[in-house]
Structure 1
Amino acid sequence: MDFPQALRSARHERHFSQLDLALRTGTTQRHLSFIESGRSRPGRTMVIRLGESLELPLRERNDLLLAAGYAPVYPQTALDDPALEHVRSALDRILTGHLPYPAIVVDAGHQLVMANDAFSLFTDGVAEKLLEPPVNVLRLSLHPDGVAPRIVNLSQWAQHILDRLPPGDFRDELAAYVPHVEPGPDHVGFAAPLHLRSSRGDLHLTTTIATFATALDITVAELKLEAFLPADPATAALLAT
């Protein structure tokens, strides 16, 4: 895909008009029109500004630079690299500080990167094959040999997960593990607390997801910290024991 086509595609996906994007980027609609038609070749700084204005993930900003004929500017450092020790330490403190509630860190492929001790509430009794690295937390959750048999509201929780995945083989694989649910007349959405049977008792958990919003490294920017919180006083009491 050439640069004009890549830029138009990214703009349409985010439902920006040419005027919207021009204003966000600090240029004119006429100039942007010339760029999208291939009549004007943008400089490297303009391509970076366009990627920022479109709020593209860093990986896609690099792709946009390559399409424009420029070298990528955003690095991708291995998480175990000494340069990211401060990131690992910060995440470890957050995970530990979230105890006694479960919390995990996953990468862009939904693979488990880090977890605190309370995450054992999820992994108790699951098949060893699902715990062999790299552990995909979505497969771990919905596979019949994983957490799924202990999720009381499996259909609703699974749909909550599936609705956030793009079409493809991985989504199809996960969808095959769980029954499809047709929304009823009182349906208010599939985002519901997770109802999990555990060694502590029945838990009702809600989730919050945090990211490094200002990261300039692809690895760091793609990390997600998912923290589970009690959805009722009874769950809070069970997790505190």
Structure 2
Amino acid sequence: MTTLAETDRPIGTLLRHWRERRRMSQLQLAGLAEVSARHVSFLETGRSRPTRAMLLRLSEQLDIPLRERNSLLLAGGFAPAYPEHALGDVPMAAVADAIGQILHAHLPAPAVVVDRHWQMVDGNDAVALLVEGCSPRLLEPPVNVLRLSLHPDGMAPRIANLGQWRAHLLHRLDHQIAVTGDDVLADLAVELADYPCEDPAGPPEPGALVVPIRIRTDAGELAFLSTTTVFGTPLDVTVAELAVETFHPADAATADALQRHER
């Protein structure tokens, strides 16, 4: 992952790193950025120095995360373009309010907010139904929801289709690593893959459209479909890295159980 600590790397090396990660040729990137392939080559080899506007244009075409775009700008000798605020900061009031509304409106079903490393930022009261019986040490902040899901002392023993759910989460994490190159996520993937799982993934259920999570709770076995909500056109690093994970009842029995649990 390109980080602020790595801004001593030549700007051309960083540009080539992201182009190759996106599996683009210099000609393809040049076409998207509306410059010549020769110019892209000169930027990568250091024969030309990119302007701030050019770095932002190339970053957009390479779909570089905002945090890494700031690192790229610093490596080029420019100030970061995207601010980074804590969720409790005054400029984030509208975002925090929107998150709070989403979490509350989703009750009685569970919903959590996670950051780029899958650490839980917030959650609604129904999350307690999913994490009942988990080891207290896994619930100590910062809570990593992937570790909590797949750890043998976490939710894993109560997930009826652990093999399927585990394969889904690991595939999703692998895709995120491929996009971001994040070393923290790469280390997390190695850790999660090493957790024991005697339940083979197996084929999807006949007629299934998505992979649900089926979890045993005091309210019975519940089935949920998960969705992810992100903010459109984010201009702040924190906002770009937040995601709301919501769990929807996959059947009538789960919906009824949630209503009874809320009472």
Task: Give TM-score scaled by structure 1 length.
Answer: 0.90
- Do 1:204 and 1:235's aligned partners in 2 also have CA atoms closer than 8 Å? yes
SS at match of 1:117: coil
Runs of at least 5 residues in structure 1 that lack an aligned partner in the other structure: none
Q: CA deviation at 1:16?
A: 1.9
Within 5 Å, give how 1:120-139 maps onto structure 2.
120-139=128-147
SS at match of 1:21: helix
1:226 maps to which residue? 245
Amino acid at match of 2:248: L
Match of 1:213 among 232, 241, 249: 232
Asked whether 1:118 is paired with 2:126, we answer: yes
1:239 maps to which residue? 258
C-alpha root-mean-square deviation of aligned residues, in Å? 2.2
For 2:25 and 2:118, the matched residues in 1 are separated by 32
Amino acid at match of 1:207: S
Moved more, 52-61 or 64-73: 64-73
Query: How many equivalent residue pairs?
Result: 239
Match of 2:107 among 99, 102, 105: 99
Write out per-residue CA displacement over residues 188-226 of structure 1, whole angstroms, 9 at most, x where no aligned residue.
Answer: 9xx621111112211111111111131111111100110
Q: CA deviation at 1:33?
A: 2.2
Write out per-residue CA displacement over residues 41-98 of structure 1, whole angstroms, 9 at most, x where no aligned residue.
Answer: 1111110111111111101111211222222221111111122111111100011111
Q: CA deviation at 1:104?
A: 0.5
Amino acid at match of 2:259: A
Match of 1:11 among 16, 19, 39: 19
Asked whether 1:179 is paired with 2:187, we answer: no
Write out per-residue CA displacement over residues 116-139 of structure 1, whole angstroms, 9 at most, x where no aligned residue.
Answer: 111111121212111111111111
1:36 maps to which residue? 44
For 1:211 and 1:143, the matched residues in 2 are separated by 26
2:217 maps to which residue? 198
- Distance change (3 Å), C-alpha of 1:123 and 1:154: same
2:182 maps to which residue? none
For 2:204 and 2:255, the matched residues in 1 are separated by 27
Match of 2:72 among 64, 69, 72: 64
For 2:43 and 2:24, the matched residues in 1 are separated by 15
Match of 1:84 among 92, 95, 113: 92
1:170 maps to which residue? 188
- Do 2:204 and 2:211's aligned partners in 1 also have CA atoms closer than 8 Å? no
- Do 1:154 and 1:178's aligned partners in 2 also have CA atoms closer than 8 Å? no
Amino acid at match of 1:21: L
- Do 1:158 and 1:178's aligned partners in 2 also have CA atoms closer than 8 Å? no
- Do 1:106 and 1:223's aligned partners in 2 also have CA atoms closer than 8 Å? yes
For 2:71 and 2:79, the matched residues in 1 are separated by 9
Moved more, 67-76 or 213-222: 67-76
- Distance change (3 Å), C-alpha of 1:56 and 1:153: same
Runs of at least 5 residues in structure 2 that lack an aligned partner in the other structure: 1-8, 178-184
2:5 maps to which residue? none
- Distance change (3 Å), C-alpha of 1:238 and 1:181: closer
SS at match of 1:227: strand
Write out per-residue CA displacement over residues 148-188 of structure 1, whole angstroms, 9 at most, x where no aligned residue.
Answer: 1110111221122122244743222222223277666x579
For 2:13 and 2:194, the matched residues in 1 are separated by 35
Within 5 Å, give how 1:16-31 maps onto structure 2.
16-31=24-39
